[in-house]
Chain A
Amino acid sequence: MPAGIKPGKYFVQGDEAIAEGAIAAGCRFFAGYPITPSSETSEAMARRLPEVGGICLQMEDELASIHAVGAASVGGLKAMTISSGPGISLKLEGLGWGIKNEIPYVVVDIQRAGPSNGVATRVGQGDFYTVRYGSAGGNNCLIALSPKSTQEAFDLTIECFNLSEIFRCPVFLLSDETVGHTRELLVIPEESQLNVRKRIKPAVPPEQFVMYPLDTPGVINYPFPNIGEGYGICVSPYTHTSKGYASTAQEVQEKMARRLVFKITENSDKLVRVERQKMEDADFAVIAYGGNARPAVAAVDMAREKGMKVGFFRPIIVWPFPDGEVLQVAEKVRTILVCELNIDGQLSREVSRAAKGKAEVYHLGSGGVEPHLPAQIFNEVRRLYK
C-alpha cells in the first residue's frame, strides 16, 4: 500500500491542503457531508483516500459523519471529518462521545459567516467558542489549531492528528473560508521529513490494562486499544468507570471530569504555539488568528512605516488558550487590538481575560463575509495608538 503522500510543489486551496495533510498523517477514514466552504476537502479525500486504500464515505448527515469517524477510530483507523458552522453545531453531541471516551480523531471547521446558515460561501470567525464550549455538559477541555495559509493548513492538520494520538482526544482544526478557498503554494516534503505519530498500543495484557486512566488524570501518550484486539473495550456515552462501565456514582463523575480537564490543563505547556512579529520593541499589539492574521500583519507593517511601534501576535494553538503568552504581551504593551470576524467578540474576550488588566484591550469586529482590509485595521491602530 503506498504511503500516500506525493512530495512536490502544488498550487492549491487550503481545503485541498488539509486533505493532503490528513493523508500524510495516516488518515485512512473520512466521513463527511457536503457543506460550503468545506466540500473541496471532502472531494479531495474522495479522490485520494482510495489511492491509499482508505475509506471515504459521504454520510447521510453531519451527525452520521462524526459518529462514523469516532467509530472508525475505535475500529483502528485514523479518522477525520470536516464541516462549517451549521454542521459543527450538529456534530457537537458526537464530539462529546469522542471527548468522553478519549477517542483520537480530527474535526475540521472551515468557518463561514453566521449565525445560522449565514453566508455559505463567505468567511466568518464565529465558532471560536463553539468548538471549545459547544459540546454540552462542560467538564472537558479541547485542543484546537488554526492555520493562516495553505501551507499551515497542511502542516497543522498533521499536527492535529499527532496531538489527537498523544492526548487521546478529538482535536479541531479551526480554519476559515479565507484559508480554505485561497489558492497558494503548498510544499509537500518527502515522507522521511514528516513527523507522524503512530497510535500507541498497550504493553500489558487485557486484565492489567485500564481503558480510561481516571486515577491518573494528567497522563498523556496513553495507549488506545481498538475493537478486535482482545481488550474487550467498553465505550459508552455515559459517565463511566475506568473500565468503561456506566456509573451514577458521584466519585466516578468527579474523577471523569478531572481526567478530561486535567489531561489538557496539566500538559498545557506542551500545547503552546504562537507567532510573534515585531514584538520586541512594541508598545501596541495587534492580535488575530486564522485567515484574518494576514491583513493584520499587513496593517502592522503599515503602522511601522508611520513610526508606530506596533507588533503582531497570533495564537496558532487557539485552545487551550495561550494565557501566559497573552499576559506577557499585555505586560509589554499599552494597548492590544484584537481583530476578528465577529461582532460579539470572542477572541477579544479571551484576550481581555488573559491580559488581566495589564493593557487596554480593544475589539475590532466585523460580521464577516469579507476579511478585514489592512487599511481598516491600520486606521483603528492609528486611532488608538498613544
Chain B
Amino acid sequence: MNTVGEALKVLHPLVAKYLRKERMPHMACPGCGIGQVVHGTLLAIDELGLTPQNTVWVQGVGCSSRITYSTWMGDNVDAHHGRIFAVATGLKMARPDMNFILFTGDGDCAAIGGNHFIHACRRNLDVTAILFNNGIYGMTGGQVAPTSPVGAVTTTTPYGNIEDPFDMCQLAAAAGASYVARWKSTDFQPLVNSIKKGIQTKGLAFVEVLLQCPTNFGRYVLKTSQAQDVLKWIKEHSVSKKEAEKLSKEELAGKYLLGEFVYRPERTGIVERYQEFLKKQQKE
C-alpha cells in the first residue's frame, strides 16, 4: 500500500501530468528497470500529445504489469495473466478511435499469453505493446521464464535452465507485427523514439525492453544484489545491429540484438480492414 498521500506536494512533472499521485511511489523494487521504461513511455506520450482522455493503459499480471496497475490517470484495464492481447482486441475493436498501450512481461507475453500474442501480431492489431524482458518471473519470486538465458539458475531451475529462450522480436516479426524493436531500459533516447514510432505506426507495434531485475535475476542468476551489476550484464550481453555485423557467430551467441527490426506501416490490420468491410456492408 502506498501511504504517502499527504506528502505529495512536489511531484515529477510527468507524474503530476499523467499518473494518479495516490498510487505513487510505485511498488517496484529498488533499482528495478520498470520505472525507467514507464518514464520513457510517459515521455513518448507527452511528446506525441496523447492524453488520459484518448489513451488507455492495458496491463496483465507480473511485475511488468502490476507496477503500473491503476497508475495512469485515464482508463486502466488490467487483464488476467496472459490475456492482455485478447482484451486489447475487444477494447480496440469497440473503440478504434482510442490509443492503447500494453505493458506485458515474460510470462504474460511469452508463456501463458503466447498464443494471444502471436494472433494479435497476425491480426496486426493497432496497439503498442511494450515487453518488459527481465529474463525471469519477478513477482512470483524468481522462476524461470521462456526468456531466461540458457544455464540460468532460478528457483525452478536450481541446476540451471536447459531450454533456449524465445527471441520475442523474431516471433513478433514472423507473426506479422508492423513495428518491432528491442532496446535496453537505459537506452533512453532510442527507447522513447521507438515507443513514439510504434504509437504512430498503424498495426501492432512491439517494443521489447531488456531491463534489470536485481531482486530475482540479480540474486539467483547473477549471484549479485546490486542492480548496477545486472545493468552491466545486460550491456555486456547486448549488441547493436551495426556492431553485430562485425562479430562472428560464436561472438554473437547468447547476445541480444538491439535496434529496429521491422517497420512495415503499409501492412493493414484487423481494425482498418473490419471498418472498411463494415462500410462496404452498409453501402450494399
In the complex they form, whether A and B have CB atoms below 8 Å apart is answered with: yes
Q: Which residues of A contact B (CB under 8 A)?
A: 1, 29, 31, 50-51, 53, 55, 57, 59-61, 63-65, 67-77, 79, 93-94, 96-97, 227-228, 230-238, 243-249
B23 interface hit (Cβ, 8 Å): yes
**Which residues on A sit within 8 Å (CB–CB) of B92?**
75
Closest Cβ neighbor of A227 among chain B residues: B75
B76 interface hit (Cβ, 8 Å): yes
- Residue picked from B1, B23, B87, most chain A C-beta under 10 Å: B87
Contact between chains at B83 and A75 (CB < 8 Å): no
Contact between chains at B83 and A94 (CB < 8 Å): yes
Q: Mark contacts of B250-275 with chain A using CB atoms, 8 A cut-off: 1 yes-contact digit, 0 otherwise.
A: 00000000000000000000100010
C-alpha gap A236/B66 in the complex (Å): 10
From A55, A233, A249, give the contact of B93 (CB < 8 A). Answer: A55
Contact between chains at A51 and B91 (CB < 8 Å): no
Contact between chains at B94 and A61 (CB < 8 Å): no
Contact between chains at A68 and B75 (CB < 8 Å): no
**Which residues on B sit within 8 Å (CB–CB) of A234?**
69-70, 75-76, 78
B189 interface hit (Cβ, 8 Å): no
Shortest CB distance B93–A (Å): 5
Contact between chains at B80 and A76 (CB < 8 Å): no
From A50, A71, A94, give the contact of B91 (CB < 8 A). Answer: A71
Contact between chains at A93 and B80 (CB < 8 Å): yes
Tell which of B49-57, B140-148, B197-205, B227-235 binds the partner: B49-57
Q: Mark contacts of B106-128 with chain A using CB atoms, 8 A cut-off: 1 yes-contact digit, 0 otherwise.
A: 00000000011001000000000
Contact between chains at B78 and A236 (CB < 8 Å): yes
Contact between chains at A71 and B76 (CB < 8 Å): no
Task: Please report which residues of chain B, range 73-89, place their CB below 8 angstroms from some CB of chain A when the two chains form the complex.
Answer: 73-80, 83, 85-89
**Which residues on A sit within 8 Å (CB–CB) of B1?**
247-249
Shortest CB distance A342–B (Å): 29
Shortest CB distance B1–A (Å): 8
Contact between chains at B70 and A245 (CB < 8 Å): yes
Contact between chains at A237 and B79 (CB < 8 Å): yes
Contact between chains at B87 and A70 (CB < 8 Å): yes
Contact between chains at A76 and B86 (CB < 8 Å): no
Contact between chains at A68 and B274 (CB < 8 Å): no
C-alpha gap A75/B78 in the complex (Å): 13
Closest Cβ neighbor of A97 among chain B residues: B80
**Which residues on A sit within 8 Å (CB–CB) of B53?**
228, 230
Q: Mark contacts of B25-61 with chain A using CB atoms, 8 A cut-off: 1 yes-contact digit, 0 otherwise.
A: 0000000000000000000000000001110100001
Contact A60 B119, CB 8 Å, known A75-B94, A228-B53: yes
B97 interface hit (Cβ, 8 Å): yes
Closest Cβ neighbor of B93 among chain A residues: A55
Ordered by A's residue number, 24 sampled pairs between the chains whose C-beta atoms are within 8 Å are A29-B90, A31-B89, A51-B281, A57-B93, A57-B270, A63-B86, A67-B80, A67-B87, A67-B90, A71-B79, A71-B90, A75-B95, A76-B94, A96-B80, A97-B83, A227-B95, A228-B56, A232-B76, A235-B76, A236-B69, A236-B70, A237-B80, A243-B70, A249-B1
Q: Supply 5 further A-B pairs (C-beta < 8 A) apart from A61-B115, A71-B77, A75-B95.
A: A50-B278, A55-B274, A67-B86, A94-B80, A235-B78
Contact A29 B93, CB 8 Å, known A55-B274, A61-B115, A237-B61: yes
